[in-house]
Chains A and B, each alone.
Chain A
Amino acid sequence: SQQGEEDPQALSIQEGENATMNCSYKTSINNLQWYRQNSGRGLVHLILIRSNEREKHSGRLRVTLDTSKKSSSLLITASRAADTASYFCARQNSGNTPLVFGKGTRLSVIA
């Protein structure tokens, strides 16, 4: 399969704790993107990290990319109940081409 693999499949943490989700892939990429999905419907784009970048930040989100290990991680700091959702990584081989999604990590943040 060309899909990425995320782990863990499910993660349950207390509000205020940090959540780390990992994504691995098998082929070379142009960029890797993280999305959030609430209630199994629309996806919200979180962060795009390009193959020549190692780390990006956006608010409480931090994404790292290690192309030598073909892996990426998403860190959510000081989690909130509203962060409860499924998180997907998606790799893109080149610009404006279809995304290849992993199966996602289901995050539950308990208040």
Chain B
Amino acid sequence: GQQVMQIPQYQHVQEGEDFTTYCNSSTTLSNIQWYKQRPGGHPVFLIQLVKSGEVKKQKRLTFQFGEAKKNSSLHITATQTTDVGTYFCAGPENRDDKIIFGKGTRLHILP
């Protein structure tokens, strides 16, 4: 079946360093969403990408959707302790009624 994979599973970075997580789908996606879950919290919607090659920025976060609409990335510039958490990508499965979440990338910031 359709799969959405994220790498890396874990990432430890020094505060101030950059961080990137990658999301790859086994099939073409009509769109992709990104969520952040703080430790002990619930997932919170960050952004949705729809167009091939789309790039969106939110302050220090840059989101990209691949040209083939099968991969996406989230890049954080100059990480801060507030960036700690797990970042999930999610894409629709075939029809629009189901959604598949990647297993997430857990970001840990070293002070």
Question: Are A and B subunits of one complex?
Answer: no
Binding site for B on A (CB under 8 A): none
